[in-house]
Amino acid sequence: MGQRLLPQNLLELYAHALVIERDAFKRFVELERFMRDVGLDYIAEEFERIGKEEQEQYEALAIGTAERELPALVGWEYAWHYLGPQADKVAAPKNAREALTLALGTERRAQNFYIDVAEHAADDAVCAFAAEMAADEQRHVQRLEQLLAREPEPAKVLDDDVESVRR
């Protein structure tokens, strides 16, 4: 069985964090736009706030690493965290619950990556930075879970109901 590949130093972790935060920001911009288009501004506003936080994290990392040469990333090495390249191909959500579920998936994948690094990296600085990033993701997860808990389940059509409509 192969060994998982994790960042071994801060530069490798910074390179991954930049990609994770940039992609999360893009996902939240898309989801915010969708929620505004369907008139769910209260969810769009939370997506906008979380997206801005992701953008701020990205910008802080980008500024902090601007003078450093970061390693190139090879996506397949970390596919086990991100469910492969298919995880990035997401259809537009059909309702608020689907949008919130997509947002939660984005945050949980990032959190799981950071937790894994924090628990398994040999370097204390890498562990500490990854744990801090995981905690940030946890705050986003909690906010999204609260929103999801308040969203009603979409009405389900029972087979009997379909039959009575056809008659």
Half-sphere exposure (Cβ direction) of 153: Cα atoms closer than 13 Å: 3
pTM over 0.85: no
Q: What DSSP designation does 92 have?
A: P
pLDDT, tens only, 45-104: 999 999 999 999 999 999 999 999 998 876 655 554 555 555 555 677 888 999 999 999
pLDDT at 80: 46
Superfamily of domain 10-153: Ferritin, core subunit, four-helix bundle (1.20.1260.10)
CA distance 126 to 120: 10
Specify the higher pLDDT residue, 95 or 166: 95
- Write down the residue that tokens 């879970």 correspond to: 145
pLDDT at 75: 62
The pLDDT of 29-44, averaged and rounded, is 93
CB 15 within 8 A of CB 71: yes
- How many C-beta atoms lie closer than 10 Å to residue 139's C-beta? 13
CA distance 51 to 34: 14
pLDDT, tens only, 104-122: 999 999 999 999 999 999 9
- Residues constituting the chain: 167
Residue 66 three-state SS? coil
pLDDT at 1: 41
Q: Which of 166, 154, 147, 167 is nearest to 31 (CA)?
A: 147
pLDDT, tens only, 119-144: 999 999 999 999 999 999 999 999 99
